[in-house]
């Protein structure tokens, strides 16, 4: 009898959401405060259902396309609501501009390109940078323009860059403009890359619309593996370390130099595991649908110099900056001085892309300077031998430079960044590491674990993947359950949004 009572209560609780009067609102409403992350368990459950239905449509080209576009638009609506209209407007106008660019020649073609680029960029400039310019104009000229209460549509920085690459590629005759607006919409809205990249190029992605990969057992395992690894990276490692980093950066002056230093390392690992974890999930989700997105990270912290680092870190952005800013400016074709100048301009834009704040511009400037310095160094002192020692020394130096620059990226202000650096330089005592270990040994373990994974050789990672892949398909459901429960055991109750969502 007692058991029955418990059972009824349990069953009632299971079906409680169905009785919720706000059920429809929760399902179909949007909330800018709670956008759909890949790490949200509700998203994962809906995605599971989405896949089951997808299986019935996968062989019908048109229906498959319509189904994915609809889900992608819904995905975007859940986080940005009415800005979906703005996004749709941008898609239609890009589509028309691309056709017009393709059908014209000479100066008319050029004018159309500039017109379309200005139009695309105007949304980003307004929503992301208007307040930055207003505040700086006010402080420079003592004017009193009011700043705007603007909501930054999620993913705008990413899809604006995709739109630019498409228009420029059509202009350069590298790709044909799509004849069907739904093809372009598919490319732009494809939900795995929609809100935080990777920035996908039309020439890589458009051909896949018509011939997606066929799902077989290997692809199924690879995609699930990428999703699970991504979830672990984000929820298990990045969020855990993030708790400590947040506390230190709230008031860096209250922490010793050693603790600020550990927060610097912590944030370096947090941002890497956060963003590469997101990219892994995006790649995994796309793969299970039959589409392959390019890799966005390739063990960047193992880079032996800053140039190599930028070939391995946020690859879709760095290659975009190279192909659509650095090379069109002139690249290394216009003399030594101009090469360095173009490099600096490219990195400044890269920094500014991350956020409308002088801290990001400074971050871009520092990286530009380092890239220029490395270029000059390599020309004056070409390396004759590539010894193991020089490799290791290069990795240590590069990692510390990158980690140092992250302080400006993470701090809440310039002043806070300088306080953190001052604490590291002037208030450093080795014994403080002992204190940290006693009070926060779990964070210490997590930092060591993160460092181990970040610097682990790719060969070892591949070996691990191959071993996991030998598990038969039917056992993967247990693996998923196991990984999800591990995440629940360790994750904070408040899931942090992906760092790159804000960009």
Look up residue 406 and give its two tokens: 């992250």
Closest to other proteins by CB, 237 or 371? 237
C-alpha span between 144 and 283 (Å, rounded): 46
Residues numbered 57 to 86 that lie near other proteins (CB under 8 A) are: 58-59
Give the residue, chosen from 1, 3, 14, 24, that forms a contact with other proteins under the rule CB under 8 A: 14
Determine whether 354 is an active site residue: yes
Q: What is d(CA 203, CA 455) in angstroms, rounded to the nearest whole number?
A: 33
d(CA 493, CA 266): 20
Residue 472 DSSP one-character state: -
- Among 328, 326, 409, CA closest to 375: 326
Is-contact 190 248, C-beta < 8 A? no
What is the torsional sign of CA 385, 389, 394, 397?
Answer: negative
Site string for other proteins, 257-296 (x = CB under 8 A): --x----------------------------x--------
Contact flags string 209-238 toward other proteins, x per CB under 8 A: ----xxxxxxxx-xxx--x-----------
Place of tokens 């009898």: 1
Taking the complex as a whole, how short is the minimal distance between the CB of residue 329 and other proteins, in angstroms?
Answer: 34
* 488 touches other proteins (CB under 8 A): yes
Strands (E), 270-354: none
Establish if 9 lies at the interface with other proteins (CB under 8 A).
Answer: yes
User: 106: left (phi > 0), else alpha (psi -120 to 50), else beta?
Assistant: left
Q: Smallest distance from the beta carbon of 217 to other proteins, in angstroms?
A: 7
Beta carbon nearer to other proteins, 116 or 316 = 316
How many residues of this chain interact with other proteins, rule: CB under 8 A?
66
Residue in the block written with tokens 């966005």: 296
Q: Closest Cα to residue 398, out of 310, 273, 468?
A: 310
Compute the residue count for the chain.
Answer: 503
Show contacts with other proteins in window 16-55 (CB under 8 A).
16-17, 20, 26, 33, 41-42, 44-45, 47-52, 54-55
Catalytically annotated residue among 193, 314, 354, 367: 354
Q: How far apart are CA 494 and CA 491, in angstroms?
A: 8
What x/- string results for residues 399 through 428 when contact with other proteins is judged by CB under 8 A? Answer: -------------xx---------------
Q: Give contact residues for other proteins (rule: CB under 8 A).
A: 6, 9-10, 13-14, 16-17, 20, 26, 33, 41-42, 44-45, 47-52, 54-56, 58-59, 213-220, 222-224, 227, 244, 246-248, 250-251, 254-255, 259, 288, 412-413, 435-436, 439-440, 462, 465, 473, 476-477, 480-481, 484-485, 488-489, 493-494
Residues acting as catalytic residues: 354
């Amino acid at each position: 009898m007692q058991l029955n009572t418990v059972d009824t209560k349990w069953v009632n609780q299971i079906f409680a959401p169905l009785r919720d009067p706000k059920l429809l609102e929760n399902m179909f409403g949007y909330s800018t405060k709670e956008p759909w992350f890949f790490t949200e368990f509700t998203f994962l459950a809906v995605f599971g259902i989405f896949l089951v239905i997808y299986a019935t449509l996968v062989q019908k080209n048109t229906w498959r396309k319509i189904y994915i576009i609809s889900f992608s638009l819904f995905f975007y609506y859940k986080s940005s609501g009415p800005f979906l209209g703005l996004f749709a407007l941008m898609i239609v106008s890009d589509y028309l501009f691309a056709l017009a660019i393709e059908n014209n020649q000479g100066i008319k073609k050029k004018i159309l390109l500039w017109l379309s680029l200005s139009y695309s960029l105007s949304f980003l400039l307004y929503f992301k940078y208007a307040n930055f310019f207003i505040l700086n104009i006010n402080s420079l000229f003592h004017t009193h323009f009011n700043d705007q209460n603007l909501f930054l549509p999620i993913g705008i920085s990413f899809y604006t860059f995709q739109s630019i690459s498409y228009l420029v590629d059509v202009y350069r005759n590298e790709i044909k403009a799509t004849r069907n607006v739904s093809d372009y919409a598919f490319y732009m809205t494809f939900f795995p890359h929609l809100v935080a990249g990777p920035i996908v190029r039309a020439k890589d992605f458009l051909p896949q619309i018509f011939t997606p990969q066929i799902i077989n057992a290997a692809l199924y395992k690879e995609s699930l593996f990428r999703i699970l690894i991504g979830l672990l990276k984000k929820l298990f490692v990045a969020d855990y370390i993030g708790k400590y980093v947040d506390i230190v950066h709230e008031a860096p002056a209250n922490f010793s130099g050693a603790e600020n230093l550990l927060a610097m390392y912590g944030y370096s690992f947090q941002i890497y595991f956060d963003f590469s974890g997101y990219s892994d999930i995006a790649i995994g989700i796309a793969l299970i649908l039959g589409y392959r997105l390019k890799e966005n990270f390739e063990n960047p912290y193992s880079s032996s110099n800053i140039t190599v680092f930028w070939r391995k870190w946020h690859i879709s952005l760095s290659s975009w900056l190279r192909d659509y800013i650095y090379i069109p400016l002139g690249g290394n074709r216009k003399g030594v001085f101009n090469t360095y100048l173009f490099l600096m301009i490219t990195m400044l834009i890269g920094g500014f892309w991350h956020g409308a704040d002088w801290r990001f511009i400074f971050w871009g400037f520092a990286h530009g300077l380092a890239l220029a310095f490395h270029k000059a160094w390599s020309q004056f002192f070409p390396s004759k031998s590539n010894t193991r020692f020089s490799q290791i020394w290069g990795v240590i130096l590069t990692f510390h430079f990158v980690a140092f620059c992250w302080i400006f990226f993470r701090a809440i202000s310039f002043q806070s960044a300088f306080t953190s650096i001052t604490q590291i330089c002037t208030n450093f005592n080795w014994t403080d590491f002992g204190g940290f270990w006693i009070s926060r040994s779990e964070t210490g373990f997590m930092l060591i674990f993160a460092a181990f994974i970040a610097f682990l050789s790719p060969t070892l990672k591949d070996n691990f993947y191959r071993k996991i892949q030998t598990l038969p398909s039917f056992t993967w459901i247990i693996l998923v359950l196991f990984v999800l429960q591990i995440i629940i055991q360790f994750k904070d109750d408040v899931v942090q949004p992906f760092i790159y969502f804000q960009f």
